[in-house]
Structure formats: structure tokens, C-alpha cells
């Protein structure tokens, strides 16, 4: 009886070519597993393609709600943003995918999991750390790193390899952007983006929205509500998280929100340039932060900022299934108990403009903040506070002056 391998299958040329390659070099029974994290029509026609290529079975697993509830929301609550710009769209999806691949491998009694990530990128790390954490006994096959038996270096090579194995599929050798899409975002790499000195060809590139220049001339008001840091409605309509993200994607794309051009530092040590479209995610993160401004005290905000940066690094590096991620997430969740309220803002040509925030747990006191302060605040109290707060500075200046005078 043949050993089984579960292949993380996207339906693209790379993973399609891997099916006959696995059979030829390992004599495996290949079970394809496509994880739906919201990539839309990219899933059309996958079953026929997988079977034609030699797979014995194809799983199409709908993980959209799991992805939103258990991976996206913890990162939104943490305000996890990698290198101040990247909202972790690909990074967050990989542990969800790895977990389901392991579950399918267990169900099928497979001895190995195979992925099509390259040896230069972050995804190989994210997939494999997830698999190692959840199923350390399973073998991992990464064809792009097995250069002694994986000889294909181009789309033309892969198309020819498929043809030689009796698989004639409608793939084109045309070059295009390398993209990754899910409900949260779409990433673009390649072509002119490989030169950081080149401006992105947005007319050719954008998928989820338009540039701010092409957005409507009139802004649009949006109201959102949150309950304990979780979004619950948009414009008065109660929705589950995945539907809220879909709605915000529609609104954000229309108004040119969430387009990021970044040169980021990959885990493997190189810099890479890409463009991310995250229209709904950008709105959701901003709305959540606006509510936290009202509710969280200063010390908690400062510490949470550090934890958010740590969470972003953990997720970017593929360390989701670790005690550290659990600990950081536990801290973040403890801060969300009172992040409840309503946020209103206006979308206008790439901008998210505040239009009012309210919460029953707001720490903002109008009587304290106004110039006509009431009984809680006595201006004279600031004298002693500033004296003590500035004491280290004053003492240092006095000592420095004393030291200079003795050197003369």
C-alpha cells in the first residue's frame, strides 16, 4: 500500500506540477487539500484540475470564519502591524492552513505534508513551524528546496513537465505579478515592483479597489460598533466578522483605502518589495484603535503597543503555535473587556477621517479636559508634580555645572 502525502494545493501551476512530481520521485498517493480563506473565484475548477494531474482526492476546506474569528481578530485586538505598515494578511492565514493540513493528514493516515513555497520566502517557515508544532512526526516535503531532483526553474519548465506526463492544462507562460489573496488582503510582488526605484503600475496592479485619485469626489460616512474589541455591526446592520470584513472591503476599495507600498525585511534575511491591498482591514484596525483611545488608560496603552509589536513579529515569523503567542494574546484579550462602543468616520480618497467615538466605558472627562476644570483638578497641584517629575533633570544639570566648575 502506497504512502500518502497531503499537498497544500492552490490550483496554480506550481502546485499542479508538484502532483506528478511527487508520484514520480516518491511514489506517493497524492491527496490535495485546498484551504479556502476567502480567495474567491480562484477555487473554480480545482477538483477537475487536481484529478487530471494525478491526485487521488481533493479536499476544499472552508476556513473563512475560523480565519476571521481565531486569527484575524486577535491580531486586530493587538494592533499587530509588521514594520508599521504590513497588516499580516498572508502571515495570519498560514497557521490556520497548517492546522487544517495536519488534521487532513491525520484523517487520511498520511506520512507527509508537501507545500509549494519557495526557498526564499517567509511562507516555508510559517507552514513548517506550524506543522512541526502540531505534528512533529510528519515528514515535510518542500520541492523548491530539493534542487537535486526539482529541476524546474520557470513556468515554461513546469508547463512542459506537465505535458510530458500527459497533463495538458490551460496554463499560460505569461509573466504576471506573484499574488496571494484571502478575505483580508491581496499581496502583489514581481514585475516592476522588483525595482524599489520604480513606481507601481496601479492601473495594472490593483484588484480590490482604486487609487485615491480615482475614488469618489464625495466622502462617505460609516458607523461601526464593537463589543469587547470584536466588531459587531456596520451602519447599523449586525453581522458576523467575516461579513463585516467583506462589507468594509467593498467600502474601502471604493474609496482607495489601504494601499501600501513597502520594502520589508523577510525572516530569511533579505529585503523584498511588495504592494498590499487591505481596504477592509485598514478600516477595521483604525476603527478599533479609535475606540481604544477612549477606553484604555495610558500605562495599558503603552504596554499594549509593545505587545502589539511583539505579536506582529510572532505572526510574521510563523510562531503562532507557541506559548509566547498564547501569553501575548492572553494579555491583549484582558485589555479588551471594556473596548465596547460606537465609532463613526468618513472615508475620503484614501483617508479615514474621525467623525465621533463613544463608549459607556470612556475614560474621557469633559469637565477635566476643558479649560474650565472642576473640583477634580486644581491647577496649583501641577506645581508640585512638575517639581518632582523634573527633579532628575534639575539634579543632573546642577551636577554637570558643578563638575565643570571644578575642572576649571
Q: Could you confirm whether 123 is annotated as catalytic?
A: yes
Q: Which of 53, 123, 126, 187 is catalytic?
A: 123
Q: Which of 94, 100, 126, 155 is catalytic?
A: 94
Identify whether the C-beta of residue 234 lies closer than 8 Å to the C-beta of residue 222.
Answer: yes
CA atoms within 13 A on the CB side of 182: 27
Distance CA 309, CA 398 (A): 38
Backbone angles phi, psi at 395, to 5 degrees: -65, -45
Using DSSP, how many helices (H) and how many strands (E) does the chain show? 15, 14
Distance CA 73, CA 314 (A): 15
Q: Which of 65, 69, 111, 178 is catalytic?
A: 178
Look-up: residue for cell 475614488? 215
Query: Distance of alpha carbon 198 from its chain centroid, rounded?
Result: 25
DSSP letters of 347-382? EETTEEEEEEEE-TT----HHHHSSS--TT--TTHH
Longest Cα–Cα distance in the chain? 92
CA-wise closest residue to 17 among 167, 139, 149, 148: 167
CB atoms within 10 A of CB 276: 26
Please give the grid coordinates belonging to residue 29. 498517493
Distance CA 212, CA 277 (A): 13
Distance CA 344, CA 137 (A): 50
CB atoms within 10 A of CB 194: 11
Q: Could you confirm whether 178 is annotated as catalytic?
A: yes
Backbone angles phi, psi at 181, to 5 degrees: -130, 140
Identify whether the C-beta of residue 189 lies closer than 8 Å to the C-beta of residue 273.
Answer: yes
Sign (positive or negative) of CA dihedral 370, 372, 376, 380: positive
CA-wise closest residue to 277 among 189, 171, 194: 189
> Residues near 400 by Cβ (< 8 Å), separated by ≥ 6?
none
Q: Could you confirm whether 94 is annotated as catalytic?
A: yes
Which residues are known to be catalytic? 14, 94, 123, 178
Amino acid at each position: 500500500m502506497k504512502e500518502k502525502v497531503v499537498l497544500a494545493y492552490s490550483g496554480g501551476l506550481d502546485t499542479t506540477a508538484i502532483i506528478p512530481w511527487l508520484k514520480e520521485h516518491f511514489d506517493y498517493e497524492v491527496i490535495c487539500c485546498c484551504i479556502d480563506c476567502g480567495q474567491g473565484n480562484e477555487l473554480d475548477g480545482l477538483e477537475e484540475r487536481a484529478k487530471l494531474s494525478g491526485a487521488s482526492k481533493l479536499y476544499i476546506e472552508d476556513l473563512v470564519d475560523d480565519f476571521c474569528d481565531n486569527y484575524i481578530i486577535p491580531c486586530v485586538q493587538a494592533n499587530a502591524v509588521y514594520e508599521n505598515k504590513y497588516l499580516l494578511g498572508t502571515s495570519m492565514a498560514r497557521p490556520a492552513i497548517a492546522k487544517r493540513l495536519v488534521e487532513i493528514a491525520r484523517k487520511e493516515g498520511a506520512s507527509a505534508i508537501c507545500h509549494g513555497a519557495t526557498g526564499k520566502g517567509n511562507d516555508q517557515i510559517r507552514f513548517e513551524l506550524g506543522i512541526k508544532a502540531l505534528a512533529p512526526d510528519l515528514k515535510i516535503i518542500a520541492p523548491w528546496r530539493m534542487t537535486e531532483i526539482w529541476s524546474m526553474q520557470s513556468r515554461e519548465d513546469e508547463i512542459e513537465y506537465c505535458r510530458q506526463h500527459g497533463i495538458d492544462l490551460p496554463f499560460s507562460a505569461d509573466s504576471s505579478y506573484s499574488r496571494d489573496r484571502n478575505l483580508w488582503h491581496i499581496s502583489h510582488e514581481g514585475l516592476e515592483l522588483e525595482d524599489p526605484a520604480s513606481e507601481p503600475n496601479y492601473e495594472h496592479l490593483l484588484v480590490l479597489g482604486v487609487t485615491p485619485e480615482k475614488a469618489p469626489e464625495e466622502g462617505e460616512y460609516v458607523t461601526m460598533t464593537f463589543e469587547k474589541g470584536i466588531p459587531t455591526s456596520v451602519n447599523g446592520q449586525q453581522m458576523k466578522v467575516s461579513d463585516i470584513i467583506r462589507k468594509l472591503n467593498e467600502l474601502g476599495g471604493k474609496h482607495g483605502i489601504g494601499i501600501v507600498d513597502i520594502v520589508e525585511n523577510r525572516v530569511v534575511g533579505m529585503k523584498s518589495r511588495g504592494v498590499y491591498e487591505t481596504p477592509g482591514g485598514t478600516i477595521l484596525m483604525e476603527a478599533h484603535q479609535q475606540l481604544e483611545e477612549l477606553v484604555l488608560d495610558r500605562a495599558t496603552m503603552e504596554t499594549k503597543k509593545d505587545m502589539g509589536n511583539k505579536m506582529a513579529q510572532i505572526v510574521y515569523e510563523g510562531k503562532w503555535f507557541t506559548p509566547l503567542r498564547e501569553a501575548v494574546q492572553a494579555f491583549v484579550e484582558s485589555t479588551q473587556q471594556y473596548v465596547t462602543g460606537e465609532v463613526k468616520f468618513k472615508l475620503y480618497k484614501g483617508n479615514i477621517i474621525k467623525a465621533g467615538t463613544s463608549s459607556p466605558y470612556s475614560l474621557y472627562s469633559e469637565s477635566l479636559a476643558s479649560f474650565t476644570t472642576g473640583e477634580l483638578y486644581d491647577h496649583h497641584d501641577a506645581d508640585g508634580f512638575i517639581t518632582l517629575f523634573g527633579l532628575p533633570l534639575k539634579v543632573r544639570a546642577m551636577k554637570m555645572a558643578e563638575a565643570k566648575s571644578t575642572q576649571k
